[in-house]
Chain A
């Protein structure tokens, strides 16, 4: 029974949030679009001039863009694949009757709460240092040559760190979904003589399809803009080997002070994220109706 008065009140309660988010979205975005059409260098103030789509041409044909686009895709793709492929068995294992399950859960979820700069530096130094790191010591125990992670396989090293950070998220969501799976359905399948493998393929996996999709979409949103992990470990290098789109834009804006080109790059990043957002919003929207 919404009266006109409560409707009015409801609208006025909503306005600040909507207004702020609208400004937050529109103003910077409009400025980014505007800057992207300018020749605008912070090193040379006052020389701004309209150059049309020149910045986009420059940004998109820059070899650094292709390299960083490739790095971004490899990083996002690998971390997604690793977190899902490791997360499913881990969630299945934790869904079993495990003594002290709550404690195991705490250990598994912990990396997600570690700030990115800490996890990156701990991995880089304590674990992956080529001489004194724990991995180097382990390698020497087995008579292997220690890997110089950030020189020989820098992107893979970053992928490992980011995977460690996001594996808990994937596992936790998959575990939550598994726990809502109807036990009786599985029991019925078992009584009918279904093997563990076919129970998994025909009952568990279809049930996990939606949470997996959600994990993929949400992780993608965050992984597209991985920044701190690269910032404190490799600084994008060696060369461009660990520069992703986010880091490239950062270095153009705040290291080379090229506002125009960085803005064009920013819009490219927004466009890429929008493709993912489109699907995520549709899935969440469908759920809202149910």
Chain B
């Protein structure tokens, strides 16, 4: 029996929720609006909220002057590459732990979790020096590698919790029917695992796209993804707010859309299944 919601209560909570929701979203909205202003209007006081001269010239300038798409491509390659490799390593591992658990499975899972706890600054020095001597500084492959390892524990954990939920009976039945492990994997497990795989991939893409410790420390220009590119706007060589806003809007737009799709899985992935 659902509680009867009085009209007054609905109106009050709706107004409240929309007000605070809008407040939290406002900085992003403001950035998006600013990206369509001219530089002069961008820092005019009093600011104009809607009635300014709308222009898309900032988007064009950002691309012309700073090669935005080069950095966007780096972001795509680094986030995409690290996610794919992490999945390739994690799928067999999670499959193995979910379906052939041993006495040590729990310890291994917790140990993997604990590797995620290691603060990146703790190993910044050796990683930097190793990268320097192997010529991996400012290289895409170096960033792919480090982001892949950094997110691997989360990927394994998420996949493990999803695989765990696949009913074992179905697998037993397939085995009884004489399915080999390969067939079992392709025809039984994969179709049931796809939703879990998709959300794991999505969450990992978001994390890798926004990662801003290793990318800032290990890349400068060639391999610089959008995080590093945007950081270059922090040098106070002039107030380019409209351009900063345009570049920022383009940098977050794709991930905002992906993120909105994956918000339910986010809770599960980031809490290691402790909150569902």
Contact = CB atoms under 8 A, between A and B. Distances in A.
Interface of A: 1-2, 6-7, 9-11, 13-14, 16-18, 20-21, 24-25, 27-29, 31-32, 35, 90, 93-94, 96-101, 103-127, 129, 131-132, 134, 136-137, 140, 164, 167-169, 172-173, 176-177, 180, 183, 186-187, 190, 210-211, 214, 218, 221, 224-225, 227-228, 231-233, 245-246, 249-250, 253-254, 259, 262-263, 265-267, 269-270, 272-274, 276-277, 280-281, 283-285, 287-289
A154 B212 CA distance: 21
Interface stretch (B53-61, B149-157, B190-198): B149-157
B129 A267 contact: no
B145 to A, nearest CB: 10
Contact of A17 (B25, B93, B125, B276): B93
Contact of A225 (B22, B96, B121, B129): B121
A64 to B, nearest CB: 15
Contacts of A21: 112, 115, 149, 152-153
6 contacts: A126-B245, A132-B45, A176-B276, A183-B3, A214-B275, A284-B110
A227 B209 CA distance: 16
Contacts of A187: 1, 3
Contact of A109 (B149, B153, B260): B260
Contacts of A129: 43
The 7 closest A-B pairs by CB, nearest first: A277-B117, A31-B126, A113-B259, A10-B100, A17-B93, A28-B123, A228-B212
Grouping DSSP codes into helix (H, G, I), strand (E, B) and loop, the B interface class, with mixed when no group exceeds half, is helix
Contacts of A281: 110, 113-114, 117
Contacts of B228: 117
A253 B22 CA distance: 41
Given A273-B118, A281-B110, A262 B124 contact: yes
Contacts of B129: 31, 259
A7 B251 CA distance: 46
Given A35-B126, A90-B20, 6 more contacts: A14-B97, A97-B13, A113-B258, A232-B231, A250-B124, A270-B119
Interface centre among B125, B172, B213, B274 (most CB of A within 10 A): B125
Contact of A10 (B45, B96, B113): B96
Contact of A266 (B108, B122, B251): B122
B175 interface: yes
Interface string B128-163: 111000000000000000000100110010000000
Nearest to B75: A115
A18 B93 CA distance: 8
Contacts of A232: 230-231, 234
Nearest to B257: A113
A245 B44 CA distance: 38
B13 A93 contact: yes
Contact of A97 (B9, B34, B241): B9
Given A10-B96, A32-B126, A121-B233, A111 B27 contact: yes
A155 B12 CA distance: 36
B95 to A, nearest CB: 6
B20 A17 contact: no
Interface string B1-45: 111010001100110111011101101101100100000000111
Contacts of B46: 137
B93 A14 contact: yes
Contact of B213 (A32, A131, A225): A225
B73 interface: no
Given A14-B97, A21-B152, A115 B252 contact: yes
B212 A284 contact: no
B170 interface: no
A218 B125 contact: no
